[in-house]
Chains A and B, each alone.
Chain A
Amino acid sequence: MRSADTGTQTVRLRIWRGDSQAGRFVEYSVPFNDGEVVLDVVHRVQATLAPDLAVRWNCKAGKCGSCSAEIDGRPRLMCMTRMSLFDRDSPLTIAPLKTFPAERDLVTDVGFNYAVAGRVPPLAPRQTEPGEHHRIWDADIERVQEFHRCIECFLCQDVCHVLRDHESNKNKFVGPRHLVRLAELEMHPIDTADRRATARHDLGISYCNITRCCTEVCPAGIAITDNAIIPMKERVADRFFDPLRLLAAKLRSRPDSGPAK
């Protein structure tokens, strides 16, 4: 709704209020100005109508990945979602991430993501001569830099149906964010480790059925499915599902290339 004389408009918001026990949507109506984002309006609700409305945020510029929520059912960063996207009179729905346990209001317990991060084996850098430093070329580093843009907003984790709809998969599958991390280490030019068995057995890469919702919601524009997960699936196939390669490995009897345990 736009009032002609002031340029300010009013928006109706349905915000989920509650905690791990129970909750419901509460409607608020607040003014907003041209150029504002959803986080601005949520902050206005907080400053004027509901001082205890819980919401996470930090940078307000799409760089820290704190302000994730589901706006009208779509996982988004509140600080990068302009109000001008929603030109209408019906209320705008703002809900916490569904995949993680509710903590309070728009804040969820994203501890899962920190807990499983440790399952990806860390970088194992190649040694350099004393006093020397790595020579690294654009051809190698550019591929990895894309993955380093990740701001850990966990929107991909939230939208991924493997975690979202199947609670029991949470101990078998680490989610897209950590598969990106896996890819960034596997493709890192100074890394020497082989994480393919881990990818299959501990990280559950084969649970992904590449339906690409993670890529669609990624605010950092990382081609999660095409550039991280599928290439990793191919690497896992090299190691476990390619009969010719398995045979070749047998013949060369390299102990690390044998079939799965």
Chain B
Amino acid sequence: MGAALSELRELAAEIEVHSFDVVVIGAGGAGLRAAIEATAMGASTAVVCKSLLGKAHTVMAEGGIAAAMGNVYAEDDWKVHFRDTMRGGKMMANWRMAQLHAQEAPERVWELEEWGAAFDRTGDGRISQRDFGGHRYARLAHVGDSTGLEMIRTLQHRLAQSDAQVFMEHTVISLLTDADRISGVLSYSRSDGRFVLLEAKAVVLATGGIGKAYRVTSASWEYTGDGHALALRAGAELADMEFVQFHPTGMVWPPSVRGILVTEGVRGDGGTLRNSDGRRFMFDYIPPYFAEETAQSEAEADAWYEDKRANRRPPDLLPRDEVARAINSEIKAGRGSPHGGVYLDIASRRSAEYIMKRLPSMYRQFKELADVDITTDAMEVGPTCHYIMGGVRVDPETGASSLAGLFAAGEVSNGLHGANRLGGNSLGDLLVFGRRAGAGAAAYASGAGQSGRISASEVSELCADALAPLTSEGGENPYQLQGELADLMQSNVGIVRRSDELAHAIERLEDLEERSYQAHAPGGRKFNPGWHAALELRSMIVVSRCIATCAVARTESRGGHTRDDYPSADQALGRINFLLRWAGPKTGPSTGGSLELTTAAVEEMPEELAQLFVQGQGS
């Protein structure tokens, strides 16, 4: 422990100080998997998470883990999965990450089984696999429709067997650096407001996404882009921030549950989308890029569920960006359902018994929240903000960011999904790259020597800054500001974007940022949600600015980025990633020029992989 630290202890006797080799921020799938790996490699490890252990957003993942195990279709292998991932991501994914993911996902799934996960089975006792959008073969290992819960619980129990220390209900305010390398993490306990300083040789970010920046979203309150903002402000690079995935099927009614996810498994298991005329409209929206592998008639689409070799997949199972845009157009054209969605119908296509077995939690969700029995009636669904493909730019092998000692995995990182993520690739991402980042961080920590220094004055400045909302009399209500932000992003940086709206958004965001630092949260430091909201608002605004800035720059439509004024894809832009760096002050509101936008060429894949995309190579 450096001299500065003891100095700090005197300075602020109330600050709790710990020291670890590796600090993992976030306890979702990626964070837990990283921590398990780091402890297994002998690193002293801490996990810091905003909620209680086991509540992370991963529990919301429903469909399954994409892994080419070949249990249902022996033809499936990593190459097919790799190809699906790249094509789904509009060829913008990092080829090496897509390759590692496709190769290692099966091992990670079997490992979960070894740790106790109770996957659904095939008739011959192997792990069952289900169909999902964009995947050529039935490939998703699943546990009913609550695979995420199973994964979290399994990892949670596994972690409990190690000596990792968990700091539940702690929010990280800042990453601390010493001459361009990580030296620690400053956090506070949500329950009693104490500041907790964790000295760390390496930090793994596994904080998930940014969904709360949008009005209609499948995300919980935790999804405020903390990790993105922390990394950026500490000096790491973000990439591809314009790519935001809107999941085609979220609930639209009642208003209070608008946005809550309806798993793609409904379509994978036979559900189909219809407009108010009862027409299966997806047949009208098959893009040329996928025409060759998509069924052109209802008969062929329906036959595919029985025989996947002789038939092509239904258009309902096109990648998510395509389906979300199609639904959006149907609703705009006035062919939507009464509550502003379209119909998702599995009731007329599958038996009640089958639905209950495969989709038990969907059944419960609709029954209890919307009074709809999905075994007899169609669901009403519409697009909902679901996932951000952009994030911390990392090294595929180790998850290392451009800042020494900082690693990232899962949704907060970038690279695997390109311009659009395939359903089922996220859970695999958490396991494969969570493990790699944990290993990367542990290895880095063991070779890092002495911990970096922590500046006492910087810490006290950060603490004061964090406490400001409690005392800034006359400031605005943070909940109201959050609401304003969500509306702004929803209507100006949403599914379909335009240059004038984006410009408007950027202007308003600057104003919001100023006001957010004035926000006032009455009450004390003990579990004060208003205060928490005021601090999270800061991250949300930084991340929103990143999204809007990149969205202006990408003058084309591709994957999770659709421009009304540039409706088609641009070959040249398809070969570059947009990168962002922070040039503003370390604390406080940013200034006009604080986001530095640069470009980098999308990395070319080696010849033998490129071969997989040559015409005629399957379809």
Contacts and interface: CB of A to CB of B under 8 A. Distances in A.
Question: Do any CB atoms of chain A lie under 8 A from CB atoms of chain B in the complex?
Answer: yes
Contacts of B480: 47
A192 to B, nearest CB: 12
Given A34-B254, A51-B479, A62-B368, A103 B527 contact: yes
B59 A104 contact: no
A125 interface: yes
A213 interface: no
Contacts of B386: none
Contacts of A254: none
A60 B479 contact: no
Interface residues of A, number: 58
B527 A54 contact: yes
B57 interface: yes
Contacts of B143: 145, 148
A239 interface: no
Contacts of B119: 136, 141
Interface stretch (A110-118, A164-172, A241-249): A110-118
Interface string B345-372: 0000000000000000100110011100
Given A55-B529, A151-B59, A61 B479 contact: no
B383 interface: no
A69 to B, nearest CB: 14
Contact of B146 (A51, A63, A103, A110): A63
Nearest to A221: B364
B478 interface: yes
Interface string B254-269: 1111001100000000
Contacts of A66: 51-52, 55
A88 B191 CA distance: 35
Contacts of A33: 254-256
A57 interface: yes
Contacts of B254: 33-36
Interface in A120-167: 122-123, 125, 133-138, 141, 144-145, 148-152
A190 B125 CA distance: 13
Given A63-B60, A117-B160, A145-B143, A36 B121 contact: no
Interface string B217-239: 00011100000000000000000
Contact of A105 (B153, B478, B527): B527
Contacts of B255: 33, 35-36
Contact of B221 (A57, A61, A125): A57
Contacts of B113: 133-134, 136, 190
A58 interface: yes
B59 A63 contact: yes
Interface in A39-68: 40, 46-47, 51-66
Contacts of B146: 63, 149
Interface string B142-157: 0110100110010001
A223 interface: no
A133 B253 contact: no
Interface string B516-560: 000001111011111100000000000000000000000000000
Interface size of B as a range: 35 or more
A222 B217 CA distance: 29
A238 interface: no
B524 A61 contact: no
Contacts of A195: none
B586 interface: no
B118 A52 contact: no
Given A51-B478, A136-B121, A138-B121, A58 B57 contact: yes
B332 interface: no
A35 B370 CA distance: 7
A37 interface: yes
B53 interface: yes
A148 B260 contact: no
Given A35-B253, A40-B256, A52-B522, A59 B478 contact: no
Contacts of B283: none
Interface string B106-126: 000010011110111100111
Contacts of B611: none
A145 B118 contact: yes
Contact of A61 (B55, B124, B365): B365
Interface string B53-70: 111110110000000000
A62 B253 CA distance: 16
B161 interface: yes
Given A51-B478, A63-B146, A123 B524 contact: no
Nearest to A151: B149
B590 to A, nearest CB: 26
A35 B150 CA distance: 29
A40 B54 CA distance: 23
B477 interface: yes
B220 to A, nearest CB: 4
A176 to B, nearest CB: 16
A122 B191 CA distance: 30
A58 B256 contact: no
A104 B478 contact: no
Nearest to A41: B256
Contact of B125 (A46, A125, A136): A136
Interface in A1-58: 19, 33-37, 40, 46-47, 51-58
Interface in A177-225: 185, 188, 190-191, 221
Nearest to A52: B523
Interface in B241-263: 253-257, 260-261
A230 interface: no
Contacts of B260: 60-61
A74 interface: no
Given A46-B479, A55-B529, A103-B191, 6 more contacts: A40-B256, A52-B529, A58-B51, A66-B55, A105-B527, A118-B160
15 contacts: A33-B255, A47-B479, A58-B222, A60-B257, A61-B60, A62-B365, A63-B146, A63-B149, A64-B54, A80-B368, A110-B52, A149-B146, A151-B149, A152-B54, A188-B118
Interface of B: 51-57, 59-60, 110, 113-116, 118-121, 124-127, 143-144, 146, 149-150, 153, 157, 160-161, 168, 191, 220-222, 253-257, 260-261, 361, 364-365, 368-370, 477-480, 483, 521-524, 526-531
| Shortest Cβ-Cβ A-B pairs, 4 listed | A35-B254, A52-B523, A51-B530, A135-B125
